[in-house]
Amino acid sequence: MTNDQQAGVAQPPKAPKSPSRREQVAALPFRRAPDLQVLLVSSLESRRWIVPKGWPMKGRSASEAAAREAFEEAGVKGEIAQAPLGAYTYDKRKKNGSVLRCDVDVFPLEVRKQAANWPEKALRTQRWCSWREAAELVDDTELGDLIRAFAASPLRADQGVS
């Protein structure tokens, strides 16, 4: 449920699924140090700044899958919200040149632990930054808007992330 949905603001219906459109889940890793900071990771191919994300996983809820992606891509664990903050859309470029449209549900994850080693450590760069800087560094405008909305939201504690 997005902040607008929690606040009772009507949302346009999601576009119907099509073979060229896929669902993904993402974590928005953050900490209060003492101001809100966000952890970004580099994408594998283009090296642009993103949040940890991936495909839904059988046997796991969307938030659990997002938390797993956060560990695999950034080595972080913590308290993940059960409801998404919101969603953004991006075009995933495949190695064969085709483009896959992805709708990504984003789950805030308050980082409690950062591992010394994790599965994709050698493949990605990570960067803790202020929420303002994070919102500017990400390529996806909608993701930047979600980061800004999260930083401004009084609902952070109500989302199971305290």
Pick left, alpha or beta for residue 97 (phi over 0 → left; psi -120 to 50 → alpha; otherwise beta). Answer: left
Structural tokens at position 75:
């080595």
Instruction: Give the pLDDT of residue 33.
Output: 80
| pLDDT tens-digit series, residues 84-116 | 999 999 988 777 888 889 999 999 999 999 999
**Residue numbers in the chain where pLDDT is lower than 50:** 1-16, 157-160, 162
Instruction: Give the pLDDT of residue 18.
Output: 52
In a domain, 43, yes or no: yes
In a domain, 140, yes or no: yes
Please give the tally of structural domains in the chain: 1
In a domain, 13, yes or no: no
| pLDDT tens-digit series, residues 35-47 | 999 999 999 888 8
In a domain, 7, yes or no: no
In a domain, 9, yes or no: no
Structural tokens at position 149:
């909305």
Find the CATH number of the domain harbouring 33. 3.90.79.10
Residue 46 domain boundaries: 19-159
Instruction: Give the pLDDT of residue 97.
Output: 80
In a domain, 119, yes or no: yes
In a domain, 1, yes or no: no
Instruction: Give the pLDDT of residue 128.
Output: 97
Distance between first and last Cα of the chain: 17
In a domain, 11, yes or no: no
CB atoms inside a 10 Å sphere around CB 155: 18
